[in-house]
Chains A and B, each alone.
Chain A
Amino acid sequence: MNKTVNQKAWFFVIPVFVLVAFNAIIPLMTVVNYAFQETFGNNVFMWEGTRWFKQIMLSERFHASLGRQFLFTFIILFIQIPLGIAIALTMPKEGIGVPICLVLMSMPLLIPWNVVGAMWNIFALPDIGFLGHSLNALGFDYNFTQQIGDAWFTTILMDVWHWTSLVVLLSYAGLRSIQPAYYQAAEIDGASRWAIFTKIELPKMKKVLTIAILLRFMDSFMIYTEPFVLTGGGPGNATAFLSIDLVKMALGQFDLGPAAAMSLIYFFIVLLVCWVFYTLMMRNEEKS
């Protein structure tokens, strides 16, 4: 069948193009602009080529915050994904328990980031916070504002509290979509609980888990507000993840060139990891 050629159709694309230009392309191009030039204000720019990129790529400060970032993301994925699946598996499948659990699970997701940070900051304060005070009363030497381990522990705990629900809800949706016949067949085939989990539930949850991991990867890799409010990146630079470091560089030190270059590198890392992960996960889907 021949397609009708109608160039007027382009007019319909213009509104979307304008919209996307304003909210994505133009700001991004500004960043690209800064990344290749040096400016001293007054709209005076000097071409610097790839200098800022080289500087960032070789900078130990960048390596350190990138390392912290990967470590943080890896830890929270490692905790949240299995924990989320486990909670979803134990949630009730029918009755009044379902809405109760769903509402309870959704609560943390509805709280704004900075409120979560502030809440946990107060909650974990060693002298007056419930968590901090209790831990110290139990004999632990806990102070997240001064000890690196405690700061990491609190940040991770906060993120697990805030975001595990997302994994739970997605996994629960995935589990609920499995037809009862699968469980019945497995029962008749004599499958163990573990076999049911690995042979039926996990494969059937693959798509939602892919989404869950992608979302949690992106969100945690770009995390800013919560650790900023909780620890401010401290003690020292111990919890200064990529975003926090980036903001420090751009707004604290006003190093716009290097900060722009770092933004782009940051952006490409997120894009690359997501693409590789998604392609790997979906590789077998296309075959079948």
Chain B
Amino acid sequence: MAKVTLKGLSHSYLKTQSSDADWAIRGVDIDWNDGGAYALLGPSGCGKTTLLNIISGLITPTKGDILFDDKVISGLNPVERNIAQIFQFPVIYDTMTVYDNLAFPLRNRKIPEKEIKVKVHEIAEMLELSTTLNNRASGLTADGKQKISLGRGLVRSDVNAIMFDEPLTVIDPHLKWILRSKLKELHQKINRTMIYVTHDQTEALTFADQVVVMHEGQIVQTGTPVDLFEKPKHTFVGYFIGSPGMNVLPCQIKGNDVIVNGKKIETHQQIKKSNFNKTEVGVRPEFISFSNEGIPVKVLSVSNTGRHKIVDTESETGKIKIIAKSNEDIPSGSAFLKFKKEYTYTYGDSWIIE
């Protein structure tokens, strides 16, 4: 159990780096408290797995330090770091039984057989593997195998952190739910630092107390699921989280005024500086309503999801999506939109202006 701190971490798979794109991750600073549940969220190729492998010690970072409980551990190997990691694809030892698979990490650490037995049975019980303990692991289905992988990660009780690298990719949707709530439940029970890497926002938001959103090797925002939803600090967070994602429209800043499509709109922030290459306004579809005045748009289509309606509209400078109540009347043809002030933000060069 440990607090995990990353300081100025950068990593490149290349020998020399000439541009930002050559870095798999760059300038990552993180403070993760002992016993927290964290998620690393981002699209494929954003550097999540690299970051995870750096923490576990499978990769040595080009720059920066990793600290467990304020002690630098950058030079230690995975065994010395005493972490557990579960991979995207099930890793099982084919020739061993399920029991031996679960016992393997403990046996390697020379723990007495008696203790191993207790631990293995406890974990097997939790993952519903008890009935197959004596079967050969190679005969199981993909999700059975992944449960073993999970089990091997959870079986050691003294680990500093448990890391999950998209562990539910191969699991079918129904079981996904069950396993995810199992993990959550487990976290509350054993109270160990857990880091969960995923590209699935639902997975991240339901598992973690704190979500770290990564984009092109950088951390763009760290916060609770509510923070990420209500106040995205980067336009990427805006459209990566939420379904549909945030509407991002180009805007002009004149003095303290924000102008979209020639209309002045009100946003959450007070604008102090405006020397950006690109300025945009972001507002989630949930926080837009039809009105008698405001941004003029043309209604393109309406799709009813049952719970609500998603309306596609087109303004002068781009498409705007709106989420409306399922019983709301949607104007056809031309309409005007009003943005909710407290959830409308201005972005300069993709970052929120504060």
Contacts and interface: CB of A to CB of B under 8 A. Distances in A.
Interface of A: 179, 181-182, 184-185, 187-192, 195, 199-200, 203-204, 284, 287-288
B7 interface: no
B60 to A, nearest CB: 13
Contact of A184 (B85, B95, B138): B85
Contacts of B95: 199, 203
A92 B37 CA distance: 40
B78 A188 contact: yes
Given A199-B93, A200-B93, A191 B56 contact: no
Contact of B104 (A184, A189, A204): A189
Contact of B58 (A187, A192, A203, A204): A187
Contacts of A200: 93
Interface in B22-73: 53, 56, 58
Interface in B74-130: 77-79, 83-85, 87-89, 91, 93-96, 104-105, 108-109
A179 B96 CA distance: 18
B340 interface: no
Contacts of B58: 184, 187-188
A180 to B, nearest CB: 9
Contacts of B109: 190
B139 A191 contact: no
A204 B92 CA distance: 11
B265 to A, nearest CB: 49
A191 B87 CA distance: 16
B193 interface: no
Given A185-B152, A187-B58, 12 more contacts: A179-B91, A185-B91, A187-B77, A188-B56, A188-B58, A189-B104, A189-B152, A190-B108, A191-B104, A195-B108, A284-B136, A288-B139
Nearest to B89: A181
B53 A189 contact: no
B267 interface: no
Question: Which secondary structure dominates where chain B touches chain A?
Answer: mixed
Contacts of B87: 181, 184-185
Nearest to B153: A188
B149 interface: yes
B108 A192 contact: yes
A191 B116 CA distance: 16
A188 B84 contact: yes
Contacts of B149: 185
Contacts of B83: 188
B108 A182 contact: no
A287 B95 CA distance: 13
22 contacts: A181-B87, A185-B85, A185-B91, A185-B149, A185-B152, A188-B79, A188-B105, A189-B108, A190-B105, A191-B104, A191-B108, A192-B108, A195-B108, A199-B93, A199-B95, A199-B96, A200-B93, A203-B93, A287-B136, A287-B139, A288-B136, A288-B138
Contacts of B152: 185, 189
Q: For the side of the interface on B, what is the size category? A: 20 to 34
Contacts of A187: 58, 77-79
A288 to B, nearest CB: 4
A286 to B, nearest CB: 11
Given A187-B58, A188-B78, A191-B104, A179 B89 contact: yes
A195 B109 CA distance: 13
A200 B58 CA distance: 18
A288 B83 CA distance: 32
B158 to A, nearest CB: 12
Nearest to A287: B139
Contacts of A192: 108
A189 B77 contact: no
B160 to A, nearest CB: 12
Contacts of B84: 188
A182 B91 contact: yes
A189 B77 CA distance: 12
Contacts of A191: 104, 108
Contacts of A188: 56, 58, 78-79, 83-85, 105
A288 B58 CA distance: 32
A203 B138 CA distance: 11
A11 to B, nearest CB: 44
B58 to A, nearest CB: 5
A190 B167 CA distance: 20
A47 B334 CA distance: 104
Interface string B216-250: 00000000000000000000000000000000000
Nearest to B149: A185
A182 B53 CA distance: 14
A184 B53 contact: yes
Contacts of A184: 53, 56, 58, 78, 85, 87, 91
Contacts of B104: 189, 191, 199
**A188, A192, A288 — which one has the most chain B CB atoms within 10 A of its CB?**
A188
A184 to B, nearest CB: 5
Nearest to B83: A188
Contacts of B93: 199-200, 203
Nearest to A185: B91
A192 B109 CA distance: 10
Contacts of A185: 85, 87, 91, 149, 152
A185 B83 CA distance: 11
A204 B94 contact: yes
Nearest to B139: A288
Nearest to A191: B108
A184 B78 CA distance: 9
A199 B105 CA distance: 13
Given A181-B87, A184-B58, A184-B87, A190 B79 contact: yes
